[in-house]
Amino acid sequence: MIIKPQIMRGGLVKNPHPIGLKNVVSKYIDYTKSKGQFTGKKRALIIGGSSGYGLASRIALAYGANADTINVSFENGVTDKRLGSAGWWNNIWFEHFAKQDGLIATDIIGDAFSDEIKQQTIEAIKREFGGKIDVLIYSLASPKRKDPKTGIVHSSVLKSTTGEVAAPTLDLAKERIVDGKMLEATKDDIDETIKVMGGEDWQLWVEALQEADLLAEGFKSTAYSYDGAKATDLIYKKGTIGAAKRHLEKTAHELNDALKNIQGEAFVTVAKALVTKASAFIPLFPLYGCALFKVMKEEGTHENTIEQIERFMRDMMYGDKRIVDEVGRVRPDNLEMNPATQQKVDAIMEIMDNDNFKGISDFAGFYQDFLEINGFNVEGVDYDKSIDVEYLSSLALNA
């Protein structure tokens, strides 16, 4: 079978390329290895570690902290109709490389919001890690959450809290800017989004692990957030997603207090805007990304996902170069937020249209990253070569 990229509505790709993804995971691992260790051996739990920031965290910890890892993610394996999601292959290949390198790597596939998966994870920590973890990375991006207590399914929405706003975005399949708007959120929309993307589930995880006495002395936990500046404020900071992130921040303070007795800590990490499955879906965000990449690459400050997270882990999670803002959030997005950088980004955003966006922004780089997270256009892969579906289907997690 030969696979070519088939971009569907909403920026999803039908069949990600398994071999391309193997090379991407391997490239991320090589990058981390090239930087050397940043701390001693850790036992890490990653919630949402199959793609984006969670995958980068898993790799950075495994190869920069010699960490054994358990990852909880929601991904589809191979079926008659589909070849498996990108995150599925990232898990397969991460396990493959980590085990080759003598690390424990366990994957739990299922709904991280559920009590069952929390219980399964607790069992895995007892079985695989001798009953303690040193670090929990919370990196979920999900449109829905079933509340384990009530059974009610909550849906997050991308709406504005300041009235209807224009939100043009990129149609990646057609390579065009398309008009769009963000509708005004109701109180219910805001509450629903907070239920899904706020801090409640992170808190439930930490409480469940603490109750089971699985947190080691000095335990650390972080959840990722985005803040952004003028260009994205109306759709992000002042959107329903921003309201959920404020809730996440409030949760961080509560968790931080609850962890003091074990000299532990919890904080929100504000990360840079990058191309992931989740971010490609947020209106305006891809256009902002194209402008931002252009400016940051010209300045020499651009980082991809693994570069951003490796620096965060080395300097700020475990190092002594932590940048903390006035509300206690850790800020590896410092280079993106540089006022001079933002000024240049604003200038591009102001004049960007369908006739000029490929020239004045880094559309090519953004599009390349989008293809890459789906396993396409990756160096060293022969895309005209048929892939062995039977062999790939036989690969299993936790084998």
Residue 236 is among the residues annotated as catalytic for this protein: yes
Angle 144-148-153 from CA coordinates, rounded to 5°: 30
Instruction: Read off the tokens for 164.
Output: 């209807």
Span from 23-31, 107-115, 183-191, 344-352 in contact with ligand NAI (CB under 6 A): 107-115
112 contacts ligand NAI (rule: CB under 6 A)? yes
Identified catalytic residue from 53, 224, 226, 236: 236
Instruction: Read off the tokens for 328.
Output: 């206690």
Hey, what amino acid is at 277? K
Q: Which residues contact 200 (CB under 8 A, 6 or more apart)?
A: 194, 247, 251
Our CB check for ligand NAI shows the closer of 37 and 146 to be 146
Q: What share of the chain is helix, strand, coil (3-state, %, to 5)?
A: 45, 15, 40
Span from 24-32, 92-100, 221-229, 382-390 in contact with ligand NAI (CB under 6 A): 221-229
Among 57, 73, 203, 251, binds ligand NAI (CB under 6 A): 73
Residue 111, classified by CB atoms within 10 Å of its CB into exposed (0-12), middle (13-18) or buried (19+), is middle
Our CB check for ligand NAI shows the closer of 272 and 344 to be 272
**Contact string (CB under 6 A) for ligand NAI, positions 131-150, x = contact:** --------xxxx--------
DSSP state of 322: -
Collapsing DSSP states into helix, strand and coil, what is residue 371?
helix
222 contacts ligand NAI (rule: CB under 6 A)? no
**Contact string (CB under 6 A) for ligand NAI, positions 275-314, x = contact:** -xxxx-----------------------------------
* Distance from C-alpha of 368 to C-alpha of 36, rounded to nearest angstrom: 27
Collapsing DSSP states into helix, strand and coil, what is residue 169?
strand
Among 50, 69, 169, 304, binds ligand NAI (CB under 6 A): 50
Q: Site residues (CB under 6 A) for ligand NAI?
A: 48-54, 72-75, 87, 111-113, 139-142, 224-226, 271, 273-274, 276-279
